[in-house]
Chains A and B, each alone.
Chain A
C-alpha cells in the first residue's frame, strides 16, 4: 500500500514540475540530499525546503523516507545519505537518489537522521506542495491547508494558477483562503490585500483568526502603501471572526457539557440498576467498568496479534464481550456474596467495598500496575468540522450516541420484555412476585448481571478517553453515585436528566471558575438540592419509599 502512494507521489512530482512557471536552478541531486544530513535542524529544514522545490523526481520519495525515519547517514562520511528499508527481515541499504544498493554497509556503520518538529513541518509543507495537483480532492485539500500553514510566498503564483483550474468547490475555497493569506501577508498591492482580508473574514475560524492577528502585528510595524487602512480592515475582520468564534464557543461548550454528561450517564447507568433498582450500594461498580475496559484491551491485543486487519473494528466486538465478561463477574458476585445481604443495604456497602479492593489488586496482579494502551480506531479519531471554527471530536460524539443507545435498549429490556417485567415485580414486591411464580433468585442474579454488564460496556467507551489502569473504577464511583442520587433512585429517566444537567452545569461553570471550583460548586449544589428534594429529581412515590 505504501509503495503505491510512493509511486503516486513520484508521479505527481512530475506534474508539479510541469505546473511550475520557472525552472529552479539545478543543484545536483546528491548535493541536495546530503544537505539533509547536516546536524542543525534549521539547516536540515532549509535543505528539505530546497529539495522540495528543486523539482527533483525523487523528492517525494526522499522526504517520505525522512519522515518515516528511514534515512541514515554513514558514520564515516557525514555527507553520504542512504535509504534503509527492511524487506522481509533483511535490510536493504541503497542510495536514495540512484537506487544503487550498498551491500557492504551494515546498520552499525550508519546513524539515523533525526528530525524534529521544525523539519517535520518543512517536510509536510514540501509534500503538501507536491500534493496540490493530486487526483484525490482530499489530498488537495490537506495540501492547501499545508500551504496555508507554511505561509510560503513562492507558492502564490502556483496556487493562483491552480485556483483557476480547480473544479471541486471545497478545494476551491481552501485554495482561495490560502491565496488570500499569502496575498495579505506578503502582498504589496493595497486593493488585493483589502480583498484578501474580506475573503478571510468570510471564511472565519480559529486558524484565520491566528493569521489575522499575525497580520495585525505585522501591519503595525509595516510602512507600505495604505498599511493603516489595511490594518483597520484587519481589525474589523478580527472583531467579526471573534464574534463568530464566541457563538461557536457557546455551542462547543454545550457539546462539551453533553459529552461530559454522556460519560457520567454511561458510568452511572449500570449503578442505576444495581443501586437504584436493587438497592445494593455497589461500591464494586467502578471495578465492573474497569473490567470492561480491560476486556477491550485484551480483545484489541488479540486482534493485533492474530487479525491485524480487523483491528479497527475490535472496539465493536468488545462491546458485547465486555457486557458478557462484566455481567458474568456480576452474576458471580451476586450468587456468592450479595444474595446473602438483601434487605441490609448498608452491609452491601462493606462487602462490595472489600470486593472492589480485591478486584483492583486482582487486575494489578494479572496485568501489572501500569496503564494499558487501547488505541482509538481510525474511524473514531479526529474531529468533524461542521463549519470552519466549529468542530466536534468523533469519539465524543460516538460516546454521546452510544450512551443514549445503551439507555434506550435498557429501557426496552425493562419495559418490553418478560425479564424486565419480572425484574420490576421482584424489586417492587418480592413476596407477591414469588407467589405469582417468579423465581426471584434467578431474577436477582440476572438483574445484577445486567447492571454489571452495562457497566462493562461503559468501560469500553471510557477506554477511549481515560486511563486503562487498575484505578479506573475509583475515578468514577463517586460521580456515579451523585448522578443516581441526584436523578432519583430507581428511575432511569432521572439518571439521564441528572447526568446531562450535571455535565452541562459543570462545563458552563468551568470557564469562569476553573475546573476544580466548578466541581466543588456542583457538589455543593447537589447537597443543597437534596435538601429541597430529599429523594432526588424524579422521586418514586408510594409506600415502598418508606421501606
Chain B
C-alpha cells in the first residue's frame, strides 16, 4: 500500500491542516461543498418542474450515502492505515443508530398507538411496567448525543483492549469482530432485550422539536451529515498526517518491527480503533433519522463485509477513496435495484470480483497509475517521434 504523499508539517494546528491537505483532499472537499451547496439550492430555490431541481427524496437518499461515506471513512482509517480489518464495524454504526433511535423514540411521547406517555409502544405491548434502566436519560438530546459516541467507543475500547493486548491479529481479529457483531445481532433480535426486537425502533415523529417529515428538517439533517463527514474527514487527515499516523502505517506494514523498535503497538491500535468506532457511531446517529428505522439487521455480518468492500472498491488507504467507494456502490445499488431488479446481484457481485482483480488498489489507487502509464507511453512515443524526426 502506498503511503500518502506526505509533505505537511506535523504539529500544525487544525487551520494549517486545511492548507496542507494532501493531493486529492482539497478537490474532494471542494466537490463535497459545491455539491452540498447545489443540492440545497436545487431543492429549495429551483422550481420543481425544472430539470435542475433536486427532489426531497433525493436529499434524503444522498444524506444516507453521506452517512455510509463516514462509515466507510472510519473503516478505512483502521484498515487502510493500520491494517486492522474489522468485519464487525456495522456493530458500532448500529449502536450509534440505536442510541439516536432511543432518543427519537422518547420524543414520540404519548403520540404512540397506545398513548402511553412513559413507555414506547413495543414495551406497552410486551407488558413492561416501567422503563428499563438503560433507557433513562435518552429524553435528553445531549445525553443521547453523548451516548452515540460513548457506547460504540466503550465497546471498541473493551473489545480492543482484550484483542490487541493478546495480539490477536489478521484474520483471527476479523473473524472475532464478525462473531461480535453476530452476537449483538442475535441479542438485539430478542424482544426481551428491550430494544424492540426484529421490528427495531421506528415511527419517529420529530427531532429537537422539528418534524422529521418536513423538508426543512430533511435538508438540515443532510447538512448535518455533510458536516459530520467533513469533520470526520479532517480528523482522519489529521491523524494520518501526524507522527501518530506514521506509526500506524509502520504497524500496518510490519507490526513486529514496529514493536521491536519500541512502540507500544497495542496502545496505537486501541486508540485508532476507538476513534474509528466513534466515527462509525456518529454515522449511525445521522443515518437513523434519515431512513426512519433502526433494526437489528444493521448488525448482520453481511452488512459489515459490505462496508469493507466499499473501501476496497474506492481505494484502501486513500481517505476520499473510501468516500467515493461508499457513494458509488450505494448509488449503484439504489439505481439497479429499481432498473434491473432481477439481475442487479450479478452486477454487484461482478463489480467486486472485477475490482479486486483489475483494480487491486481501488479506483482512487489505480486510475492515477493508469493515467501515469498512459502519460509515460505518450511521452515515450513523442520522444521517440522526436528522435525519429531528428
Contacts and interface: CB of A to CB of B under 8 A. Distances in A.
Contacts of B168: 530-531, 534
A354 interface: yes
Given A524-B183, A527-B176, A358 B360 contact: no
B302 to A, nearest CB: 8
A516 B192 CA distance: 11
Contacts of A353: 305, 309, 349, 352
B353 A337 contact: yes
Interface string A330-347: 000000010011001111
Contacts of A347: 312, 356, 360
Contact of A360 (B170, B312, B345, B355): B345
A509 interface: no
B256 A485 contact: no
Nearest to B183: A523
A350 B352 contact: yes
A524 B179 CA distance: 8
B367 interface: no
B171 to A, nearest CB: 6
Contact of A357 (B162, B349, B356, B360): B349
Nearest to A358: B349
A286 to B, nearest CB: 11
B346 interface: yes
A344 B360 CA distance: 10
A351 interface: yes
Contact of B163 (A283, A337, A474, A531): A531
A149 interface: no
Nearest to A275: B171
A341 B360 CA distance: 9
B353 A354 contact: yes
A530 B176 contact: yes
B354 to A, nearest CB: 8
Given A523-B179, A531-B168, A357 B348 contact: yes
Interface string A345-365: 111011101111110111001
B175 A357 contact: no
A517 B193 CA distance: 11
A520 B345 contact: no
Interface in B240-283: 256
B107 to A, nearest CB: 30
B256 A351 contact: no
Interface in B140-188: 159, 162-163, 165-172, 174-176, 178-180, 182-183, 186-187
A526 B348 CA distance: 32
Given A527-B179, A531-B166, A350 B356 contact: yes
- What interface size band does chain A fall in? 35 or more
A478 B349 contact: no
B189 A516 contact: yes
Contacts of B348: 354, 357
Contacts of B167: 534
B351 interface: yes
Interface in B311-346: 312, 342-343, 345-346
A530 B357 contact: no
B94 interface: no
A456 to B, nearest CB: 20
A275 to B, nearest CB: 8
Interface in B111-139: none
B310 to A, nearest CB: 10
Nearest to B164: A531
A353 B172 CA distance: 18
B172 A534 contact: yes
B13 interface: no
A147 to B, nearest CB: 45
Interface residues of B, number: 45
B186 A519 contact: yes
A67 to B, nearest CB: 42
Contacts of A341: 356-357
Chain B contact residues: helix, strand, loop or mixed: helix
A482 interface: yes
A354 B349 contact: yes
B309 A350 contact: yes
Contacts of B209: none
B350 interface: yes
B229 interface: no
B176 A526 contact: yes
Interface in A111-161: none
A205 to B, nearest CB: 35
Contacts of A77: none
A532 interface: yes
Contacts of B183: 519-520, 523-524, 527
A346 B171 CA distance: 8
Interface string A2-42: 00000000000000000000000000000000000000000
A247 B312 CA distance: 55
A346 B178 contact: no
A517 B79 CA distance: 31
Given A354-B352, A361-B346, A519-B186, A485 B360 contact: no
A361 B345 contact: yes
A255 interface: no
B57 to A, nearest CB: 27
A492 interface: no
B234 to A, nearest CB: 27
B308 A349 contact: yes
Contacts of A530: 163, 166, 168, 172, 176
A350 B349 contact: no
Interface in A496-547: 516-517, 519-520, 523-524, 526-528, 530-532, 534-536, 546
B350 A354 contact: yes
Contacts of B163: 530-531
Contacts of A527: 159, 176, 179-180, 183
B301 interface: yes
A528 B353 CA distance: 34
A175 interface: no
A490 to B, nearest CB: 11
A340 B357 contact: yes
A61 interface: no
Contacts of A345: 170-171
Contact of A349 (B180, B302, B305, B349): B305
Contacts of B355: 350
B179 A526 contact: yes
Contacts of A519: 183, 186
A409 to B, nearest CB: 27
Contact of A478 (B190, B301, B345): B301
A358 B345 contact: yes
A361 B348 CA distance: 11
Contacts of B85: 346
A131 B73 CA distance: 75
Contacts of B166: 530-532, 534
A517 B312 CA distance: 34
Nearest to A284: B349
Nearest to B177: A527
A358 B343 CA distance: 9
A481 interface: yes
Interface in A232-282: 281
Nearest to B355: A350
B170, B175, B178, B350 — which one has the most chain A CB atoms within 10 A of its CB? B175
Contact of B171 (A281, A361, A524): A281
B175 A482 contact: yes
6 contacts: A281-B171, A354-B356, A358-B350, A362-B346, A516-B189, A520-B183
Interface of A: 281, 283, 337, 340-341, 344-347, 349-351, 353-358, 360-362, 365, 474, 478, 481-482, 485, 489, 516-517, 519-520, 523-524, 526-528, 530-532, 534-536, 546
Given A347-B312, A357-B352, 5 more contacts: A349-B174, A349-B308, A478-B301, A527-B159, A527-B180
In the complex, the 8 A-B pairs of residues with the closest C-beta atoms, listed nearest first: A354-B352, A357-B349, A358-B349, A361-B345, A523-B183, A354-B349, A351-B356, A354-B353
